[in-house]
């Protein structure tokens, strides 16, 4: 029986001193910034620290840890720090921001009505996916309102896809109106039919 | 709604889409009957009046209904040599890569989390003794962790019934267990001493960090139950608990790619696993 019990190996990465976290977060090595980002929420000044760090950080995994820290804080203020990254030219950053907001539905919900009215159609489109993590009634109400006023068929399609999951019979009227507003968009007609079938199947 | 009714094709698709987004589990039309029966069981169990009512209840995350539904779809029973293709991958591929940077006598650390009543960490130990030619050349430390201290006590005791041993040959049972009576077998003392057990909550960094870093982590069929925030935190904790180049094995319905961009996908002939990159990526 050659396997033998080893004594517990000591942790190889001792936790940093809290006094150094702020310094490490901005000026440390990649590993130190990663570790500091994961511990920053312990500090009272976490939000301004993470805000600054996110604006400077270029390493993807450290950015991921900063987004997670902000999601863990779960406040309207920490969600507000993430939102500008929905406008990033970098698709990876937009996705990371979207994933982080989806991980903090209560906090993201506060900003959602504004995001769904954003001047940028890409932001409105991403905001539809944030709506998916809200309670069904809230998501459906917001998306139905969006569909009623939305002029961009791609945004409508994103909203309709979510509505196919969250919607109720009350959503069918809005879907029908949307179909008549965009008769020249066959993909939208298909999306609306799918959503109506799923919502109205019983 | 009673258990003789059926759900429609659109209802099936609506639920399948939701489950994919929430858990990563894929249910195609070919599994419709299997899925349908279990959905109807849950509709009846929750006293829902219709599929729509049940679906709203499911999405509201009330009373852990997502967890109940996942449990209805998955094999919750744990037993020795479960998903042994990953164990084969461990001995044929993963450890081969891990030891390239090690010398004989160095430590190889393997973590089974959650380990439940110990079937997985003991399976790893037995598998390596039986199937890895270099097992004697390295000090192998196997750690089993779980959030539930009751299962950890049972794991340390190492007593199992027939069903837990159903995948083991009589020769293996003879070699690594001793019979307590007609229905129960206990892992031999030496093997029990080869596995260390500890209590860990995967989403508590202060609990995962003291476990140190591992060459290989088996983390099967638990992330599927977590919400988005918990999954992110757990994935980062697991990343911290891996040595650079170390591997993580998930359950066959799970995909780390859906959870976190931190890991690389590694495809081997027997399994898909995930690796902490050796070099940092910008």
* Cα separations in angstroms, A51 against A11, A83, A88, A95, B173: 30, 11, 15, 18, 57
CB contact under 8 A, B236 and A64: yes
Q: What is the pLDDT of residue A202?
A: 46
Does position B129 have pLDDT exceeding 90, yes or no?
A: yes
Does any domain span residue B3?
A: no
Question: CA–CA separation, A175 vs A128, rounded Å?
Answer: 15
Considering only the beta carbons, identify the residue of B125, B228, B262 that sits closest to A61.
B262
Question: CA–CA separation, A140 vs A174, rounded Å?
Answer: 11
pLDDT in tens, A98-120: 999 999 999 999 999 999 999 99
Considering only the beta carbons, identify the residue of B9, B136, B196 that sits closest to A8.
B196
Q: What is the pLDDT of residue A15?
A: 62
Does position A9 have pLDDT exceeding 80, yes or no?
A: no
Reduce the DSSP state of residue A26 to 3 states and report it.
helix
pLDDT band of residue A14 (cuts 50, 70, 90) is: low
Does any domain span residue B225?
A: yes
Q: Which residues of B36-62 are buried (b: 16+ CB within 10 A; e: fewer)?
A: beebbebbeebebeebbebbbbbbeee
Q: What is the CATH number of the domain that holds B25?
A: 1.10.155
- Residues A129/A98, Cβ–Cβ less than 8 Å: yes
C-alpha A81, offset from chain centre = 12
Q: What is the pLDDT of residue B66?
A: 86
* B213 CA: distance to closest CA in chain A (Å): 7
Ramachandran area for residue B112 (φ above 0: left; ψ -120 to 50: alpha; else beta) = beta
Q: Which helix (H) or strand (E) holds B256?
A: none
Q: What would the two tokens of residue A125 be? A: 């489109």
CB contact under 8 A, A5 and B135: no
pLDDT in tens, B210-241: 999 999 999 998 898 888 889 999 999 999 99
Place of tokens 């031999």: B188
Q: Are residues B164 and B216 in the same domain?
A: yes
Give me the mean pLDDT over the A4-21 stretch. 63
Q: Alpha helices of chain B — where are they, by DSSP H? A: 9-23, 32-45, 51-59, 65-73, 84-89, 95-98, 119-131, 149-157, 170-176, 189-192, 205-208, 228-240
Domain boundary among B17, B52, B73: B73
pTM: 0.85
Q: What would the two tokens of residue B199 be? A: 């209590």
Question: CA–CA separation, B82 vs B209, rounded Å?
Answer: 27
Ramachandran area for residue B65 (φ above 0: left; ψ -120 to 50: alpha; else beta) = alpha
Q: Is B209 on the interface with A (CB under 8 A)?
A: yes
Which of A15-19, A56-60, A173-177 is the least confident region? A15-19
> With pLDDT > 90 as the criterion, what percentage of chain A qualifies?
83
Which residues of chain B neighbour A75 with C-beta distances below 8 Å? none
Question: CA–CA separation, A124 vs B106, rounded Å?
Answer: 54
Q: Are residues B143 and B178 in the same domain?
A: yes
Q: What is the CATH number of the domain that holds B261?
A: 3.40.50.150
pLDDT in tens, B12-35: 888 888 888 887 777 888 778 888
Q: What is the pLDDT of residue B281?
A: 47
Chain B residues 30-69 within an 8 A CB cutoff of chain A = 50-52, 56, 59-60
* B237 CA: distance to closest CA in chain A (Å): 9
Given B14, B32, B38, B167, which residue is catalytic?
B38
* A117 CA: distance to closest CA in chain B (Å): 25
Considering only the beta carbons, identify the residue of B9, B14, B128 that sits closest to A164.
B14
Closest residue, chain B, to A165 (C-alpha): B14
Does any domain span residue B281?
A: no
> What is the residue-averaged pLDDT of chain B?
90
Q: Are residues B16 and B154 in the same domain?
A: no
Does any domain span residue B179?
A: yes
Question: Smallest Cα–Cα separation from A93: which of A119, A116, A132, A122?
Answer: A122
Does any domain span residue B280?
A: no
Closest residue, chain B, to A65 (C-alpha): B236
Q: Are residues B90 and B226 in the same domain?
A: yes
Q: What is the pLDDT of residue B271?
A: 92
> With pLDDT > 70 as the criterion, what percentage of chain B qualifies?
96
Does any domain span residue B282?
A: no
Q: What would the two tokens of residue B171 be? A: 């020769």
Per the annotation, the verdict on B146 as an active-site residue is yes
CB contact under 8 A, A8 and B280: no
Which residues of chain A neighbour B212 with C-beta distances below 8 Å? 8-12
Does any domain span residue B4?
A: no
Does position A17 have pLDDT exceeding 90, yes or no?
A: no
Strand B159-161 with B184-187, pairing: antiparallel
Q: Are residues B29 and B89 in the same domain?
A: no
Strand B264-267 with B139-146, pairing: unpaired
Domain boundary among B73, B93, B111: B73
Domain carrying residue B23: 9-73
Which of A44-48, B56-60, B124-128 is the least confident region? B56-60
- Residues B224/B248, Cβ–Cβ less than 8 Å: no
Considering only the beta carbons, identify the residue of B59, B261, B282 that sits closest to A64.
B261
- Residues B242/B113, Cβ–Cβ less than 8 Å: no
Strand B139-146 with B214-218, pairing: unpaired
Q: Are residues B101 and B20 in the same domain?
A: no
Q: What would the two tokens of residue A25 be? A: 């977060």
Q: Which residues of A26-47 are buried (b: 16+ CB within 10 A; e: fewer)?
A: eebeeebbbbbbbbbbebeebb
Given B82, B109, B146, B215, which residue is catalytic?
B146
- Contacts of residue B282, defined as CB under 8 A and 6 or more positions apart, other chains included, come to A58, A59, A60
Q: What is the pLDDT of residue A188?
A: 94
Closest residue, chain A, to B13 (C-alpha): A198
Considering only the beta carbons, identify the residue of B14, B229, B281 that sits closest to A165.
B14
Closest residue, chain B, to A197 (C-alpha): B10
pLDDT band of residue B253 (cuts 50, 70, 90) is: confident
Considering only the beta carbons, identify the residue of B14, B232, B282 that sits closest to A58.
B282
pLDDT in tens, B73-110: 776 678 999 989 999 999 999 999 999 989 999 999 99
Q: Is B275 on the interface with A (CB under 8 A)?
A: no
> What is the residue-averaged pLDDT of chain A?
91
Q: What would the two tokens of residue B103 be? A: 């010398």
CB contact under 8 A, A11 and B212: yes
Q: Are residues B91 and B155 in the same domain?
A: yes
* A134 CA: distance to closest CA in chain B (Å): 9
- Residues B15/B39, Cβ–Cβ less than 8 Å: yes
Q: Are residues B102 and B192 in the same domain?
A: yes
Closest residue, chain B, to A39 (C-alpha): B205
Q: Are residues B51 and B148 in the same domain?
A: no
Question: CA–CA separation, B93 vs B269, rounded Å?
Answer: 9
Domain boundary among B73, B108, B126: B73
Q: Is B128 on the interface with A (CB under 8 A)?
A: yes
Does position A11 have pLDDT exceeding 60, yes or no?
A: no
Number of domains in chain B: 2
Q: Could you please report the per-residue DSSP string of A71-136?
A: HHH--HHHHHHHGGGGG-S-HHHHHHHHHHHHT-HHHHHHHHHHHTT-S-HHHHHHHHHHHTTS-H
* A156 CA: distance to closest CA in chain B (Å): 19
Q: What is the pLDDT of residue B22?
A: 81
Q: What is the pLDDT of residue A86?
A: 97
Prediction ipTM score: 0.82
Q: Are residues B64 and B88 in the same domain?
A: no
pLDDT band of residue A5 (cuts 50, 70, 90) is: low
pLDDT in tens, A123-180: 999 999 999 999 999 999 999 999 999 999 999 999 999 999 999 999 999 999 999 9
Q: Are residues B201 and B238 in the same domain?
A: yes
Does any domain span residue B79?
A: no
Q: Are residues B135 and B196 in the same domain?
A: yes
Does position B118 have pLDDT exceeding 70, yes or no?
A: yes
Give me the mean pLDDT over the B252-262 stretch. 86
Q: What is the pLDDT of residue B25?
A: 76
Q: What is the DSSP letter of A8?
A: P
CB contact under 8 A, A135 and B205: no
CB contact under 8 A, A3 and B196: no
pLDDT band of residue A10 (cuts 50, 70, 90) is: low
């Amino acid at each position: 029986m050659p396997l033998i019990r080893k004594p517990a190996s000591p942790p190889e990465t001792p936790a940093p001193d809290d006094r150094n976290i702020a310094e490490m977060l901005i000026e440390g090595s990649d590993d130190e910034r990663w570790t500091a980002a994961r511990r920053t929420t312990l500090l009272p000044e976490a939000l301004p620290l993470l805000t600054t760090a996110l604006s400077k950080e270029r390493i993807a995994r450290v950015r991921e840890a900063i987004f997670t820290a902000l999601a863990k804080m779960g406040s309207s203020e920490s969600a507000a720090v993430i939102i500008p990254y929905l406008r990033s030219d970098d698709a990876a950053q937009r996705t990371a921001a979207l994933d982080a907001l989806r991980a903090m539905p209560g906090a993201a919900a506060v900003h959602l009505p504004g995001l769904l009215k954003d001047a940028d159609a890409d932001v409105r489109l991403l905001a539809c996916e944030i709506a998916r993590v809200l309670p069904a009634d809230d998501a459906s109400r917001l998306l139905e309102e969006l569909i009623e006023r939305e002029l961009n068929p791609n945004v409508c399609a994103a909203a309709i896809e979510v509505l196919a999951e969250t919607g109720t019979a009350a959503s069918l009227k809005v879907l029908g109106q949307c179909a008549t507003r965009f008769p020249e968009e066959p993909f939208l007609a298909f999306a609306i039919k799918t959503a109506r079938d799923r919502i109205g199947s019983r | 709604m009673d258990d003789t009714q059926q759900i429609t094709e659109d209802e099936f698709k609506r639920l399948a889409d939701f489950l994919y987004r929430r858990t990563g589990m894929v249910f195609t039309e070919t599994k419709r009957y299997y899925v349908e029966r279990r959905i109807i069981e849950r509709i009846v169990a929750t006293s829902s009046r219709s599929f729509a009512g049940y679906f709203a209840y499911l999405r509201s995350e009330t009373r852990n209904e997502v967890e109940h539904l996942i449990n209805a779809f998955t094999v919750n029973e744990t037993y020795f040599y479960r998903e042994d293709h990953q164990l084969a991958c461990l001995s044929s591929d993963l450890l081969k890569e891990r030891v390239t940077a090690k010398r004989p006598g160095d430590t190889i650390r393997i973590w089974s989390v959650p380990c439940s009543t110990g079937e997985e960490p003991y399976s790893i130990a037995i598998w390596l003794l039986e199937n890895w030619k270099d097992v004697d050349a390295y000090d192998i430390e196997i750690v089993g962790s779980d959030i539930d201290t009751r299962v950890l006590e049972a794991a340390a005791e190492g007593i199992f019934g027939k069903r837990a041993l159903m995948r083991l040959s009589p020769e293996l049972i003879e070699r690594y267990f001793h019979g307590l009576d007609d229905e129960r077998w206990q892992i031999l003392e030496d093997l029990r001493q080869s596995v260390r057990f500890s209590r860990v909550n995967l989403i508590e960094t202060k609990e995962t960090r003291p476990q140190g870093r591992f060459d290989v982590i088996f983390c099967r069929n638990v992330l599927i139950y977590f919400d988005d925030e918990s999954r992110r935190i757990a994935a980062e904790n697991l990343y911290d608990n891996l040595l650079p180049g170390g591997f993580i094995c998930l359950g066959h319905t799970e995909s780390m790619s859906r959870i976190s961009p931190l890991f690389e996908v590694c495809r081997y002939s027997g399994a898909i696993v995930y690796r902490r990159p050796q070099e940092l990526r910008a």
